[in-house]
Amino acid sequence: MIKSLVLGAGGFIGNHLVSRLKQNGHFVKGIDLKHPEFSETSADEFIIGDLRDPRICAEHVTSEFDEVYQLAADMGGAGYLFSGENDFNVMHNSGMINLNVTDCAIKQGIKNIFFSSSACIYPKENQLDPLNPNCEESSAYPADPDSEYGWEKIFSERVYLSAMRNYGLNVHIARFHNVYGPFGTWNSGKEKAPAALCRKVAEATNGSSIEIWGDGEQTRSFLYIDDCLDGVLKLMNSDFEGPVNIGSEEMVSINNLCKVILKHANKEATLHHIEGPIGVMGRNSENSLVKERIGWEPKISLAEGIGKTYDWIAQQVDKNKVDLSVSVEKGNG
């Protein structure tokens, strides 16, 4: 039986990955600062631990595992990453995790390690035109990401790649582009655009307005979680180290993303543009390399993935309303 260790197993992608690895018959141990928020973990063993602490890493990142998936990071949506308020924590916390993990992986002779990097590493000047962003892997240098989050990721890519060159660590690096789906954070302040807009639409009544940060013409692509997991596993089981894009090429403006959600919800609302952190003006995955090297491409359209995500978030919004009214009733009683 393959033994897998998932770091960041309480997070959105980590929790889904644990379930997929269990379905595939692996023994899975997960580590995180917290349990998954919206479901029980399927891991055989789940440790609450802080990977910034080298002793925690040394205790759990051990040679008994055939493979390690490193997804733990201080992470959030635009409101968290681009406001500037969390810059030091993002760099320091995630940097420490990756330095500790590579150190232990080298010492323990880990055979196979996956690192989740991000499309946020790409230079900001290549992403000024919303209709023609350039996110080819080869465009990453000279580096000039638009956020400290992106700088930490490109630094850590280099930490993993140098561990590979100097110590023979077998690494696989994916640059994820906006992964979304059910069981992701939707009202914590760390939610990303698809979850935030699904929540706003679920809360809206017909004829009300939906707030959008910026003019809404900024473009992105969004990858449904099941496609993301297919890509991660294909990359991990290949002999390709990357870094490689794992994203969707179905680019959409934030205004149009909102319209896709409204259509699925069968609601009408006006879009109200307000000031807010928006990141770069354009970003889209470029999948030539990933198709060529590991034969992966996404299968789930934006409309289909958004439908599944909206239905789950709408349920959460309803559940919250019920919980709130029960606690008000109890308070009144």
- The contacts of residue 239 (CB under 8 Å, 6+ apart) are none
Residues assigned a catalytic role: 149
End-to-end CA distance of the chain: 55
Binding site for ligand NAD (CB under 6 A): 8, 10-14, 32-34, 50-52, 71-75, 93, 97, 116, 118, 176, 178-179, 192
Query: Please, which residue, 160 or 176, has the CB nearer to ligand NAD?
Result: 176
Q: Exposed e or buried b for every residue in 45-56, given b needs 16+ CB within 10 A?
A: ebeebbbbeeeb
CA dist., res. 216 & res. 328, Å (int): 37
CA dist., res. 333 & res. 330, Å (int): 5
Q: How many CA atoms are closer than 13 Å to the CA of 154, on its beta-carbon side?
A: 18
> Are 147 and 91 contacting, i.e. CB atoms less than 8 angstroms apart?
no
Q: In whole angstroms, how close is the CB of 227 to ligand NAD at the nearest point?
A: 12
Q: In whole angstroms, how close is the CB of 73 to ligand NAD at the nearest point?
A: 3
CA dist., res. 153 & res. 304, Å (int): 30
The backbone region for 2, taken as left when phi is positive above 0, alpha when psi lies in -120 to 50, beta otherwise, is: beta
Query: Please, which residue, 12 or 160, has the CB nearer to ligand NAD?
Result: 12
Q: In whole angstroms, how close is the CB of 106 to ligand NAD at the nearest point?
A: 19
Residue with tokens 């201080």: 74
Query: Please, which residue, 244 or 269, has the CB nearer to ligand NAD?
Result: 244
Query: Please, which residue, 13 or 201, has the CB nearer to ligand NAD?
Result: 13
State which residue has the least CB distance to ligand NAD: 11
Q: How many CA atoms are closer than 13 Å to the CA of 310, on its beta-carbon side?
A: 24
Query: Please, which residue, 180 or 204, has the CB nearer to ligand NAD?
Result: 180
Residue with tokens 């330095």: 99
Question: If we measure between CA atoms, which residue out of 269, 250, 298, 299 comes closest to residue 197?
Answer: 269
Query: Please, which residue, 32 or 157, has the CB nearer to ligand NAD?
Result: 32
